[in-house]
Amino acid sequence: MLAVTRVAPQAQILECGTLAAAARAAAAADGLRLILLDLKMPGAIGYSGIALLHAERPEVPILVVSSAEGAGVADEARQLGAIGFLSKDSDLDTIEQAIARALGGRATKPAPSGPHEAVQQEIASLTPTQLRVLLEVLDGKLNKQIAHDLGMSEATVKAHMTVIMRKLGVQNRTQAALVARSLGLNLRH
């Protein structure tokens, strides 16, 4: 909070305690300029928070602030739509600089360097509803259960699954789930 107010004193800060609340706030917020996201936010599984918020608001930069370690975590976060990655134990100046860069749009996502990265970018291109359907599939739910949970018809779920499978280059929902799991959408960090 302190870092945000020092970089953008006029900023209105919205705090959300769960990924679902963050997705609702992101969808409804006018003038949203930056999302600060913890990978371990309640309701987030692996990188699902990045993918969901990026799908909801692709034009808004996402800066991940997490205790997860390793260059691989930062790279995967960027491939799924984050503009940058900060360790929670970064000093205030480092956090302020990262926020300023993110607000200025100066960070860039790496170009895909292989099939894994290309699929990550396909995940990042899913719509919010498509991503919610995929996350429900990861939970092992059937189309009928997904339809009930998301308030849509079973035919709509099937249509979303068709698009998801095409984007991921797979033939069935099991393969879609395996691809998503391999990208960390269901792994806790």
C-alpha distances out from residue 114 to 117, 161, 171, 181, Å: 5, 24, 21, 17
**More confident call, 12 vs 141:** 141
Within-domain flag for 109? no
Residue 123 and residue 86 in one domain? no
pLDDT band at 108, cuts 50/70/90?
very low
Mean pLDDT of 34-48: 84
pLDDT digits (tens, 9 = 90+) for 137-182: 988 899 999 999 999 999 999 999 999 998 888 899 988 888 887 7
Within-domain flag for 110? no
Tell me which residue range forms the domain holding 167.
Answer: 115-182
| CATH number where 36 lies | 3.40.50.2300
- R_g of the chain computed on alpha carbons: 17
- Total structural domains in the chain? 2
Whether 99 shows a pLDDT value over 80: the answer reads yes
**Beta strand segments in the chain, E:** 35-37, 62-66, 84-87
Q: Is 112 exposed, middle or buried (0-12, 13-18, 19+ CB in 10 A)?
A: middle
What integer pLDDT is reported at residue 128 of this predicted model? 83
Within-domain flag for 27? yes
Residue 145 and residue 67 in one domain? no
Within-domain flag for 23? yes
Please report, as a single letter, which amino acid is at residue 18.
Answer: T
Residue 130 and residue 151 in one domain? yes
Q: Tokens at residue 90, please?
A: 């970064």
Q: How many CB atoms sit inside 10 A of residue 157's CB?
A: 24
pLDDT digits (tens, 9 = 90+) for 109-137: 444 555 566 677 777 788 888 888 998 99
Q: Tokens at residue 120, please?
A: 């990550």
Strand 62-66 and strand 84-87: the pairing is: parallel
Whether 188 shows a pLDDT value over 50: the answer reads no
What integer pLDDT is reported at residue 3 of this predicted model? 83
Residue 98 and residue 157 in one domain? no
pLDDT digits (tens, 9 = 90+) for 60-73: 899 988 887 666 78
Contact assessment for residue 132 and residue 48, using Cβ atoms and an 8 Å cutoff: no
Final residue of a structural domain among 61, 79, 103: 103
